[in-house]
Structure 1
Amino acid sequence: MRAAYQYRLRLTKSQEAEVEKWLDMLRCQYNYLLADRFNWYEQNRCSINSCPLVCHLPALRNNPDYFSQKKTLPQLKKDRPWYSSVQSQVLQDCVKKVDLAFKRFLKGDVNGRKSGRPRFKGKNRYRSFTFPSLGKTPINGNILTLPKFGKVKMIYHRPIPEGFKIKTATITRKTDGYYVTLSIQDDTVSEIIPIDKVDNPVGIDMGLKSFLVKSDGSEVPIPQYYRKAQKRLKKIQKTVSRSKKGSNNRKKAVSKLGKAHKKVADTRKDFHFKTAKNLLDNHDLVAHEKLNIKGLAKTKLAKSVLDAGWGQFLSILSVKAVRVAWPTALNAGLIAKAVNPRNTSQNCSNCGTKVPKELKDRIHSCPHCGFTADRDVNAAINILNLAVGRPVRSKACRVTEGVPGVGKKPALSR
């Protein structure tokens, strides 16, 4: 079981200068290694499966990979002695970043989805570096000890849970300061409650009128943090556009704009964590739809969908249900189950009949069984039924089941 805890750093002026120096050197090394990959790729690839008899052959060399590029680091420190100030494993992690970006470009991830062509990092575009290993007890009070970097002060607002070991530390530069993300690990496995023994299960239907609607009829209002801050963001953005590129006024305006956007993101994330905590405190099983958020983000509802942050919320909900959730219950062992959203809004949760509705129709009224409910509540009940193993029926002919003489084949006369 792994989790990540993030803390804000209180660096001195000299430490901030050292972090910026490391980031700049790692950025240059990242660009150099990425260029080496591209050079080999362009020289050794061919758009056809045969070559002419007379052609130029580049100097043969092996394909640069993670291990071959990592072997160049000792020579790098000899040629450029200032790189000796960077911790060795931090440099190796930079090579790993290049390898991962290039593999996703050529082969894709585990699901086969390829990423775009990796870009070279411009100034201020390389924002983080990672220490892959730390000491046995790196934290003493509010002091964090980093290899070769030294001791740094952080705001230790919540302690690391007992039984967890700190595996890595990532220093990140954000618009309002520097942060450290500690990756912690616990080898114990939490026991998941069986579905047939869950207490007080609930289904939720994500929406834009309300953030979510539960199957019991209650709802969580949608905050719309971005839309509320849009007027202020527009004003700051106008200041950035009117400033001269490269001027100090533009840098100040860009910093102010970044802080305003970060405030919106932080308030939204805080809302997601609190909503997920409330659900997991009161329910052992939370069923939700498996949404195609990328597809919805390409529609006219893109701004509202992205402002709601469904993807971030469902990710937090699924992770916190099993992993380290809250200080009072470390190994929650609860269930957050995603179901197929097909026909959950159209089918009647009482009899299973498909009742076609348009998006403007907010009330579900079944003409066959007479069940009437809010459209979102009906969908939430269907989602819960799918999660606990009761499929949602959608064929209209099934409404005739149980009605004498209807929907049955006539008896054959002898």
Structure 2
Amino acid sequence: MTDHGPQPVERRLPTEEARDLLALVRELVRREIAPHAAEEEEAGRFPRELFRLLSSSGLLGLPYAGEFGGGDQPYEVYLQILEELAAARLTVGLGVSVHSLACHALAGYGTKEQRAEHLPAMLGGGLLGAYCLSEPQSGSDAASLRTRAVRDGGDWVLDGTKAWITHGGIADFYTVLARTGGEGARGITAFLVPGDAPGLSAAPPERKMGMKGSPTAQVHLDGVRVPDARRVGDEGQGFSIALSALDSGRLGIAACAVGLAQAALDEALAFVSQRRQFGRPLTDFQGLRFMLADMATQIEAGRSLCLAAARLRDEGLPFARQAAMAKLFATDAAMRVTTDAVQLMGGYGYTADFPAERYMREAKMLQIVEGTNQIQRMVIARHLAGPEGH
């Protein structure tokens, strides 16, 4: 063990363009994100101007086609950039992941005309997106959602309430899943709803134990009218679109978890490298060295799972099982690593003067969003059981 503190994570980036992106992100982190993260999280401030900067810098559309304003980057690169952002401030990393999730339906299932009309502004025009699947009575059981869309001439009229919506109330557009047919998964359709649509409103943000800078709110749709041209995919295709989006979104959450855990390890390592007890540096004590080794191993394992799943996605191969594994492992690891970081720092780790306690509170959320880790285990088990288990 040395006393030099944490070193930058080595990145496996395939092109010079990707390496330039990493340099850009690290400069943004150093200049715009890290210096303000603790203060803004404590105050519950969402960095809206920063997201406009990320958009103009091409960082909100990295995994999407350049034809429509995206960055044409493989998911393997996108996730490593996301990890860097989440390590600096989870509100930013998670926000980029949620925005990417909100763009997924249109990018993957929209017509060429829809994509040409909307995607450039969504990917690089300063807009911020939100994804509306969960409802007050249908979280893990998303197929039982009750928000309804009824056709009225050339329009659809949407009524219902969505819950736990990241960027709820501040988003410029919402990807909304609503029921257009009978009960169950096959009666659901996806819509692209403008954030300023008449009849769309948001409740006050939820009061959370962490992620105070990232607004999470219920979104109410009261007679919201959207033209059929904003229906994404076929009628009744919405649930399969939603599941496809979540497969990719789970990799985003896994990358955020790896970034958060890395930040916690770096903080703990810097602390113990400088502190002495019983006349010796803390890093001389084998018990603490073993804790640090276990933390680093869990982070590296989560990163490897995440990037292995991303490579499958980039090659056009099935990756849903691996995405669930990555989300499950990386977020559980983040909870363990952040808890251990607080323990290693003792009383200092428990105070708000150091970021370790914030990392610990934020890690809990990652085990819940985009499918709880119990749901991830169900997804993995169904894949292991074969087609009959789906």
What TM-score results when the alignment is normalised by the length of structure 2? 0.25
* More helix as a share of residues: 2
